Structure 1
């Protein structure tokens, strides 16, 4: 009986060690993705007048009345600010238009038009279903090489990490920092999403849709 107890204790000890190793690896990957991406964060002043290929604004949901969510509105406001500051000559609005009754990028486009961005300088990526797909398509569909990525701070690390691993030369400028409903849940999702991003950037799967190339230096209305 004593021998059985000793064996069981050894097994438990090894299981606990294995669990600890797994936790360390998971947390380590998470921190690596976060901080490796955040190394490319900049201020509005640092990117003004630099003329990157475009400013990529990542979608964040729209309301049924055709208005952007608070999170998306703050991203759009920052993107428009950067455009007017000369950070890039084009806006690339990337979001979800996977259903006929849900058109995230149309709402984003209308908001930018309303705030003075010329139509020809607004490009729409209708199949930006995820951060990974947005960056992949920015590179392969729109021919983007350099960009300013706009999202909230909590999301910047993963966004920039993903873009850089796909070969884009990017910097990030975060939207104005605010508190939003559901921040705690978003933090949990972001933790898991960083793990997924790490794997995606190794495997590099193709996005849901590719398609014909659209030159980011041309007239954005061809992407509408």
Structure 2
């Protein structure tokens, strides 16, 4: 019986911590997420977070194409001068930054306005590299709204001034696993900033 009570208490504490992290992150960042470029202050650089251009079954990934279309809209609006494309590279056959570059060129974005970073395996790494490698201190983030909260939270704690132009989120019913994973990713973000990577924060 004591073991059951202990497990129940741990479960309740874990749930409370997850909820706390999510409310904290969303509360701190929700006012800096826009759907319209006219609402943005703007910056020299926009950062686009990578994902695969294909789903597991081979169909086009709407997360990818919505981000790319939004990034093209952002640079054509004049709110940023260049786009930093940050994503994972598993091999010569899989490179998210190159995928975004090809798609953006197809949308009429000039290649000389694109910066490729193929070492962005995680959101935190992408933002830290943007600051430490490329010297960026302010940016416009391009990603879906559910992911934007975490991006802006991490940027804040890395000393980067950021706002977001949100790409359209695909139907939640069809992609509920990705949305649910983000609940725990936000919790991980708090742990990363406050415990594992405190040296990356300027606060």
TM-score bin, normalised by smaller chain: 0.7 to 0.9
Unmatched 5+ residue regions in structure 2?
A: none
Q: 3-state SS of the aligned residue for 1:93?
A: strand
Query: C-alpha deviations, 1:49-83, integer Å up to 9, x for none?
Result: x440211111121239x996221110011111011
SS at match of 1:98: strand
Contact persistence 1:37–1:159 (CA under 8 A): no
1:55 alignment counterpart: 46
- Equivalent position of 1:204 in the other structure: 197
Alpha-carbon distance in structure 1 between the residues aligned to 2:102 and 2:77:
20
Q: Structure 1 stretches of 5 or more lacking a match?
A: 1-7, 208-224
CA distance in 2, matches of 1:98, 1:144: 25
Q: Higher strand fraction: Structure 1 or Structure 2? A: 2
Aligned residues of 2:97 and 2:117 also touching (Cα < 8 A):
yes
1:156 deviates by 0.9
What is the correspondence of 1:115-134 to structure 2 with a 5 Å cutoff?
115-134=107-126
Counterpart among 68, 80, 88 of residue 72 in structure 2: 80
> Scaled by the length of structure 2, what TM-score is found?
0.85
CA RMSD of aligned residues (A): 2.6
Q: What's the offset of the Cα at 1:34?
A: 2.6
Scaled by the length of structure 1, what TM-score is found? 0.78
- Relative distance call for 1:166 and 1:14 in structure 2 (3 A) is same
Contact 2:33 2:145 in 1 (8 A): no
Task: Tell me, in whole angstroms, the C-alpha distance in 2 between the residues paired with 1:17 and 1:180.
Answer: 31
Aligned residues: 196
Note the C-alpha offset of 1:103. 1.3
Separation of aligned partners in 2, 1:22 and 1:69: 33
- Structure 1 residue runs of 4 or more that deviate by more than 6 Å after TM superposition: none
Pairing 1:27-106 to 2, within 5 Å after superposition: 27-42=19-34, 43-47=36-40, 50-63=41-54, 69-106=61-98
Are the aligned partners of 1:136 and 1:166 in contact in 2 as well (CA < 8 Å)?
yes
